[in-house]
Copies of this chain bind each other. A is one copy, B any other.
Amino acid sequence: MKIGFVGLGHMGNPMCRNLLKHGHTLKVYDVVPELVRKLAGKGCDAAASALEAARGAEMVITMLPSSPHVRRAYLGDTGVLGGVAPGTPLVDCSTIDPLTARDVAMEARAKGCAMLDAPVSGGVGGAEAGTLTFMVGGEARDFEAARPVLQAMGKNLVHCGPSGNGQVAKICNNLMLAIGMIATAEGMALATKLGMDPKVFAAIVNTSSGRCWSSDTYNPYPGVLENVPASRDYAGGFGADLMLKDLTLVTDAAKSAQQPVLLGALAQQIYQKHSADGHGAKDFSSVILQYRKP
């Protein structure tokens, strides 16, 4: 299929490579020309704008860092909606706020295009391995139509309901993830301060009602699990600043929806302090450093 792809950063680049591997042809654009040059080659043409990338495409995919970028890439003077033919499916894989996702989808619909919001989880590793999870908002039949293309990039496709719900699922999951990580940090730090062995405590919690993904799969206490960032000085993984960005999105969405999220707002603050303390580039499980010296 001829695909227009906009946004070629850490995530977009490997996603494009997987699309090419599956035999699709691409027209790609990024505001950073260097990123375009890195990809252009056999089956992959460079475009000079989002509009040009979209022109003649049978599907357009975008992967951008924030809501204003998405708005500009679709609605700007040289944006996607200026170039697409009516009826072209549009898939935005960025993690942005649900209201912007719904706004842009509405504008797309006005041009006769079906749009899906399809934020991913799985990180750069998942993007390279083609094993991303896509949380997709939009019409069910549009979701089904896009499935074969998404499967070139990911393994797990979840339809979350109408437009915007992919974003809602993503940010609300990450709200719970961030709180769960800090809860695990508080529990592990307190239990060991009170005299327990960290592995023994983790083993108990992980078969009890206190368990969560952060305790049993991604434990922040060094040495409890192998092959997690906590056991390599918090290198790699999902950066604390990325978690902070998602917490900012979700607390902003909660403000718009007039919905209290007390623990969420405090979690956002704790990550904000963690970042201000200079730990933003470390894996997000490093938040335990707010509670104990290594």
**Residues of A that sit less than 8 Å from B by CB:** 98, 121, 133, 135, 156, 158, 160-162, 164-165, 168-169, 172-177, 179-180, 182-184, 186-187, 189-191, 193-197, 200-201, 204-205, 207-215, 217-218, 248, 250, 252-255, 257-270, 272-273, 275-276, 290-291
Contacts and interface: CB of A to CB of B under 8 A. Distances in A.
A263 B182 contact: yes
Contact of A195 (B133, B161, B207): B161
The 5 closest A-B CB pairs, nearest first, are A212-B212, A176-B210, A179-B183, A173-B210, A172-B191
Given A194-B253, A195-B162, A269 B258 contact: no
Q: How many copies of this chain sit in the oligomeric assembly?
A: 4
B210 A174 contact: yes
A266 B264 contact: no
28 contacts: A98-B194, A133-B208, A161-B196, A165-B196, A168-B191, A172-B190, A172-B194, A172-B196, A173-B187, A175-B190, A176-B210, A179-B180, A180-B180, A180-B210, A182-B262, A186-B262, A186-B264, A190-B250, A208-B213, A209-B217, A211-B212, A212-B213, A258-B272, A260-B291, A262-B262, A262-B269, A262-B270, A265-B266
Given A186-B264, A211-B213, A168 B194 contact: yes
Chain A contact surface mostly:
helix
Given A165-B195, A190-B259, A258-B272, 11 more contacts: A121-B208, A156-B207, A160-B200, A161-B200, A172-B205, A176-B184, A179-B182, A193-B257, A212-B212, A259-B291, A266-B266
Nearest to A191: B172
B255 A173 contact: no
Given A173-B204, A191-B172, A210-B175, A260 B269 contact: yes
A180 B183 contact: yes
Contacts of A217: 209
Given A187-B176, A196-B160, A211-B212, A273 B248 contact: no
Contacts of A211: 176, 212-213
Contacts of A291: 259-260
A92 B173 CA distance: 40
Contacts of A273: 260, 262, 290
A218 B208 CA distance: 12
Contact of A260 (B168, B184, B257, B276): B276
